[in-house]
């Protein structure tokens, strides 16, 4: 009996899972490799970091998700290299040979070469960072109740967020609500006039990928929540007690959240000419690497141009890419050709807090409560599993009615203090 073609998928994110599902009925064997044993819904990480959602509401075990896919094997391992010539993927536990390779490895925080930022700030790209940030935030309030030094207290109670894209804006809004409506009931000895959230953006407006009107509305909403917005300023340096901006302004803080950018996380050792902006791999119209039609790159890892611009690093892009790759592999096995990939933009959105969001769907711009309901519907649609959808919806409803964050736990990893 002839051996079936082997498809190796690197990454169990949106793109990797979409490709796996698309290959469910195809006559291939699939191995999906990820360093975690779970799929993470990254767009809601900030809600874990701000105490609104439990981690289990946005993470699902990969083996549970694909258990009905009889042709799929899951390997929890770190991919350490790819040999394109020999068609081999080297991992921390074994070497895999492939007939088709799908790189869906996503992205990581981009510190733009700053070791200060890497060492002295917290990103918001994985579950451990979200949990660490939640514990750090609440720990600062606990320490503030014990200190008698006014300057030290203000430093503990100042939170700086660098980068005003969707993640920075959403976390700032959630943090502003937590500080304004929830924590005063828990920390009655703290003067909340000393508490501040500072959102720092190098550009001339927040949410630069949105229409200017929506950016202004989002900024106004953040300011109502007590968030101070600093525009046209980059971070020059970060030390243990604060950050220094271009122009010399210093912000004293013990907590810096870095959401200023991301870059592709790819195991491929590519020439500089083969990489686009943010380390993304340049691909053909079929989402393959030039000279290697058996190797696909999708999602955040791929630099795919459409209408003269590289498509954004968004979950819908990865999902559409994964579905496309599955269809292409199925067609090739039948000896059929496939059309070029085309991304269908379904719009972008960002929530600015309870009952407030901005949405941009083509020429339609929506904000406020209606935008928030659309945001809820879309995120429930993309969450994996009925249980996760139910947990998220319940937490959002609870917060909407009672202005409460139910998951305010300080969890310190063993060995840390």
CB of 58 closer than 8 Å to CB of 38? no
- In angstroms, the Cα distances linking 124 to 71, 128, 303 are 34, 9, 22
Phi-psi region of 216 (alpha: psi -120 to 50; beta: other; left: phi over 0): alpha
Tokens of 16: 């990797």
97 tagged catalytic? no
Cβ neighbour number for residue 307 with a 10 Å cutoff:
8
- DSSP summary character for residue 86: T
What is the C-alpha separation between 64 and 62, in angstroms, rounded? 5
Spell out a b/e string for 346-375, using b for 16 or more CB atoms within 10 Å of the CB, else e.
eebbbbbbbebbbbbeeeebbbeeebbebb
Q: Which of 115, 129, 142, 170 is catalytic?
A: 170
Considering only CA atoms, give the Rg of the chain: 22
Spell out a b/e string for 107-140, using b for 16 or more CB atoms within 10 Å of the CB, else e.
bebbbeebebbeebbbbbbbbebbbbbbbbbbeb
368-382 and 386-402 are packed helices; what angle lies between their axes, rounded to 10 degrees? 160
Instruction: Go through the chain and tell me how many residues it has.
Output: 417
| CA nearest neighbour of 69 among 4, 19, 5 | 19
Phi-psi region of 355 (alpha: psi -120 to 50; beta: other; left: phi over 0): left
Catalytic residue list: 170
């Amino acid at each position: 009996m002839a051996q079936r073609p082997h498809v190796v998928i690197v990454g169990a994110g949106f793109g990797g899972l979409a490709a796996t599902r698309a290959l469910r009925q195809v006559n291939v064997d699939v191995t999906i490799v990820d360093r975690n044993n779970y799929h993470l819904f990254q767009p809601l990480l900030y809600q874990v970091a701000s105490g609104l959602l439990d981690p289990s509401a946005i993470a699902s075990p990969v083996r549970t998700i694909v258990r009905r896919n009889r042709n799929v094997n899951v390997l929890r391992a770190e991919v350490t290299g790819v040999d394109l010539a020999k068609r081999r993927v080297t991992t921390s536990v074994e070497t895999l040979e492939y007939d088709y390779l799908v790189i869906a490895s996503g992205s990581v925080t981009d510190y733009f070469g700053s070791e200060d930022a890497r060492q002295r700030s917290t990103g918001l790209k994985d579950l451990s960072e979200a949990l660490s940030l939640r514990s750090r935030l609440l720990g600062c309030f606990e320490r503030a109740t014990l200190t008698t030094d006014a300057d030290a207290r203000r430093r503990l109670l100042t939170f700086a967020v660098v980068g005003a894209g969707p993640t920075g804006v959403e976390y700032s809004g959630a943090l502003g609500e937590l500080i304004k409506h929830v924590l005063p009931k828990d920390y009655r000895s703290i003067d909340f006039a000393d508490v501040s959230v500072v959102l720092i953006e190098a550009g001339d407006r927040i949410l630069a990928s949105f229409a200017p009107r929506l950016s202004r509305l989002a900024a106004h909403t953040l300011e109502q929540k007590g968030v101070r917005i600093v525009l046209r300023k980059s971070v020059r340096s970060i030390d243990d007690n604060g950050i220094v901006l271009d122009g010399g302004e210093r912000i004293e803080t013990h907590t810096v959240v870095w959401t200023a950018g991301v870059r592709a996380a790819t195991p491929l050792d590519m020439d500089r000419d083969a990489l686009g902006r943010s380390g993304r791999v340049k691909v053909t119209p079929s989402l393959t690497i030039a000279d290697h039609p058996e190797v696909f790159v999708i999602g955040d890892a791929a630099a795919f141009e459409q209408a003269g611009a590289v498509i954004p690093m968004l979950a819908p892009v990865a999902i559409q890419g994964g579905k496309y790759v599955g269809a292409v592999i199925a067609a090739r096995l039948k000896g059929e050709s496939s059309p070029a990939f085309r991304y269908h933009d379904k719009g972008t959105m960002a929530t600015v807090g309870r009952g407030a969001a901005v949405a941009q769907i083509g020429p339609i711009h929506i904000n406020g409560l209606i935008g928030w309901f659309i945001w809820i519907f879309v995120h429930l649609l993309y969450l994996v599993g009925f249980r996760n959808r139910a947990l998220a919806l319940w937490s959002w409803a609870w917060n909407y009615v009672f202005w409460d964050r139910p998951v305010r736990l300080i969890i310190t990893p063993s060995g840390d203090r």
